[in-house]
Amino acid sequence: MKQSKIPQATAKRLPLYYRYLNNLNKQGKKRVSSKELSEAIKVDSATIRRDFSYFGALGKKGYGYNVEYLLGFFRSTLDQHETTEVALIGAGNLGTAFLNYNFTKNNNIVIKMAFDSDENKIGTEIGGVPVYSVDQLQEKLGDIEVAILTVPVSEADAITEKLVEAGIKGILNFTPVRITVPDNVRVHHIDLTVELQALVYFLKHYPLD
């Protein structure tokens, strides 16, 4: 389970590789080179080869990589053979967008349940996902370990505390709040305002022309 020493930067690219290999496979492509991959996903070809090499010698010199083999390899590396169930907290606009999005298409990740505090939403289904009251977090979560957090800023800290109590191990946090969690809980922040502001900043200060 812990074959560590794979650089984080590499780990973050794995899902990207996986998806593109899936596409190639569906198109019936049999082989692919690091150069081809590079052009498609905009990652330097040497970086791709280096990334792959952390897992051993997956390719053949003068030939490239066998799509099916590589895909199978990444499928098991990314644990795509088993389904990962996640919960979504906060069925507002952004949350609803997720609920209507079919993650399962290419990935074995599925949103199993959602939580909200709006009486009108509790008890209904959104995108086929049942919505429970946030008060039911503890009892409903079961062994789900990953949560998508799309609640308003004002709720973020309180809900986070509840999630941690209920045994959540990973949070994909879309609120601007830098939530505080114990050391054994992993949080990835996606801060949409920050991303937009950063893009604007780069445009003005790092002209590409």
Partner DNA sequence: AAAATGTCGTGATTATATTCACAAACAATT
Partner DNA sequence: AATTGTTTGTGAATATAATCACGACATTTT
Residues lying near a second copy in the complex (CB under 8 A)? 1-4, 6, 8, 11-12, 14-16, 18-19, 40-42, 78-79, 84, 86, 92-94, 96-98, 100-101, 103, 106-107, 109, 145-146, 148, 169-170, 172, 176, 178, 183-186, 188, 190-209
Listed residue (151, 197, 195) closest to 171, CA to CA: 151
9 binds, among DNA, a second copy, none (CB under 5 to 8 A by kind): DNA
206 binds, among DNA, a second copy, none (CB under 5 to 8 A by kind): a second copy
Please give the Cα distance from 52 to 44 (Å, whole number).
13
CB of 87 to a second copy, least distance (A): 12
Does position 106 interact with DNA (CB under 7 A)? The reply is no
- The residue within the footprint of DNA, chosen from 8, 27, 120, 193 (CB under 7 A), is 8
- Note whether 98 and 150 are within 8 A (CB): yes
> Closer to DNA at the Cβ: 39 or 161?
39
CB neighbours of residue 14 within 10 Å: 16
Please give the Cα distance from 6 to 12 (Å, whole number).
10
DSSP string, 50-102: HHHHTT---SBTTTBEEHHHHHHHHHHHTTTTS-EEEEEE--SHHHHHHHTS-
12-71 residues in contact with DNA (CB under 7 A) are 33-35, 44-47, 49-50, 52-53, 57-65
> Closer to a second copy at the Cβ: 61 or 82?
82
How far apart are the two ends of the chain, measured CA to CA in Å? Answer: 46
Residue 134 DSSP symbol: G
> Closer to DNA at the Cβ: 6 or 97?
6
Q: Work out the burial of residue 129: count CB atoms within 10 Å of its CB; fewer than 13 is exposed, 13-18 middle, 19 or more buried.
A: buried
34 binds, among a second copy, DNA, none (CB under 5 to 8 A by kind): DNA
Measured at the CA of 105, the angle between CA 100 and CA 110, to 5 degrees, comes to 60
155 binds, among DNA, a second copy, none (CB under 5 to 8 A by kind): none
1 binds, among a second copy, DNA, none (CB under 5 to 8 A by kind): a second copy
> Closer to DNA at the Cβ: 10 or 25?
10
